[in-house]
């Protein structure tokens, strides 16, 4: 019996323990490093294609210049293959930038909240330096308070700037 024909498991824990293949593929699609690794073979193939088409075009143009062939025969377009190569390079660049941004966010997260809160799903991996839930809540409340203070300061500045620009408009 194939996987598509099997009835879904009735045990909810079995569903949580074994993620479907589609969900796993979606998670991997969002991972920029995995996407980068998937694009590298395509980039190699595209580069080989660009070089092969360039070689064919050089040989064809040389034959035309030497008077061996006429311009009637068709050759593959070099600009299309080069455009495909550059599109893959752009995708790779975006993957690397996204991976760098994710790493930066991870570092910032570790810097501003270095201790993790133990999860209920993994009680056996509790670390000694992890925060209790009440400590975590107090840390989050202080971060929210700080964000509100910054927000209020920005509002005051914008009101002062708006007030000055209105006064200058009246004068």
Contacts of 88 (CB under 8 A, 6+ apart): 39, 42, 43, 46
Stretch 5-27: mean pLDDT:
51
The pLDDT tens digits for 76-116 are 889 999 999 999 999 999 999 999 999 998 888 777 776 66
Cα 95 versus chain centre, distance: 5
Residue 118 lies in a domain: no
Stretch 61-81: mean pLDDT:
83
pLDDT score of 28: 61
Task: Give the lowest-confidence range in 50-54, 135-139, 143-147, 153-157.
Answer: 135-139
Answer yes or no: is pLDDT of 54 > 90: yes
The mean of the pLDDT values for the chain is 79
Answer yes or no: is pLDDT of 128 > 70: no
Sign of CA dihedral 119, 122, 124, 127: negative
Of residues 24 and 94, more confidence is placed in 94
Share of the chain above pLDDT 90, in %: 40
Rounded alpha-carbon distances, angstroms, from residue 17 to 12, 122, 126: 9, 13, 21
Q: Which domain holds residue 90?
A: 30-113
CA distance 138 to 129: 16
Answer yes or no: is pLDDT of 157 > 70: yes
Share of the chain above pLDDT 70, in %: 70
Locate 122 and state its tokens.
């993994």
CA distance 95 to 92: 5
Provide the domain count of the chain: 1
Which of 85, 38, 32, 78 is CA-nearest to residue 58? Answer: 78
Stretch 41-49: mean pLDDT:
95
Residue 88 lies in a domain: yes
Residue 75 lies in a domain: yes
Residue 55 lies in a domain: yes
Residue 85 lies in a domain: yes
pLDDT score of 116: 65
Stretch 54-68: mean pLDDT:
89
CB-based burial label for 131 (10 Å; 0-12, 13-18, 19+):
middle
Contacts of 81 (CB under 8 A, 6+ apart): 46, 49, 50, 53
| Local confidence band at 11 (pLDDT 50, 70, 90 cut-offs) | very low
Rounded alpha-carbon distances, angstroms, from residue 126 to 17, 123, 139: 21, 6, 19
């Amino acid at each position: 019996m194939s996987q598509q024909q099997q009835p879904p498991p009735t045990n909810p824990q079995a569903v949580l323990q074994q993620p479907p293949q589609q969900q796993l593929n979606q998670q991997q699609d969002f991972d920029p490093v995995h996407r980068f690794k998937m694009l590298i073979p395509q980039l190699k193939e595209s580069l080989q294609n660009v070089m092969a088409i360039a070689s064919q075009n050089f040989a064809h143009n040389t034959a035309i210049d030497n008077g061996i062939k006429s311009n009637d025969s068709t050759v593959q377009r070099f600009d299309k293959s080069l455009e495909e190569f550059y599109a893959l390079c752009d995708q790779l660049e975006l993957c690397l930038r996204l991976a760098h941004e994710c790493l930066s966010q991870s570092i910032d997260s570790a810097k501003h909240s270095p201790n993790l809160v133990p999860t209920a799903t993994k009680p056996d991996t509790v670390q000694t330096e992890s925060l209790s839930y009440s400590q975590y809540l107090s840390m989050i409340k202080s971060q929210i308070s700080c964000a509100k203070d910054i927000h209020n300061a920005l509002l005051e500045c914008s009101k002062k700037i708006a007030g000055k620009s209105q006064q200058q408009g009246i004068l």
